Amino acid sequence: MDIDIDLRDRTELLSILPHRIATLSNGNLHNSGIYVTEIPHNPLSMQSTLNYKEAEDRGYFKFDILNVSIYQQVKNEEHLLQLMHKEPKWELLQEENFVNQLFHLNGHGKVLKKLCPTSVAQLAATLSIIRPAKKYLIEKSWKVIMNEVWEKPNNNEYYFKKAHAFSYAMLVIVHMNLLCEQQNL
Where do the domains of the chain lie?
Answer: 2-67, 74-182
CA distances from 75 to 7, 79, 83 (A): 14, 6, 11
Q: What is the pLDDT of residue 5?
A: 85
The mean pLDDT values, 10 residues at a time, for the chain of 185 residues are 80 90 83 90 91 91 87 92 96 95 92 95 96 92 95 85 91 96 89
pLDDT recorded at residue 8: 84
Residue 1: per-residue pLDDT = 63
For the chain, state the CA radius of gyration: 19
Sign of the dihedral through C-alpha 47, 51, 54, 56: positive
Closest to 88 in 3D by CA, of 66, 105, 107, 67:
105
Other beta carbons less than 10 A from residue 125's beta carbon: 25
Instruction: Tell me how crowded residue 40 is: count the other CB atoms within 10 A of its CB.
Output: 12
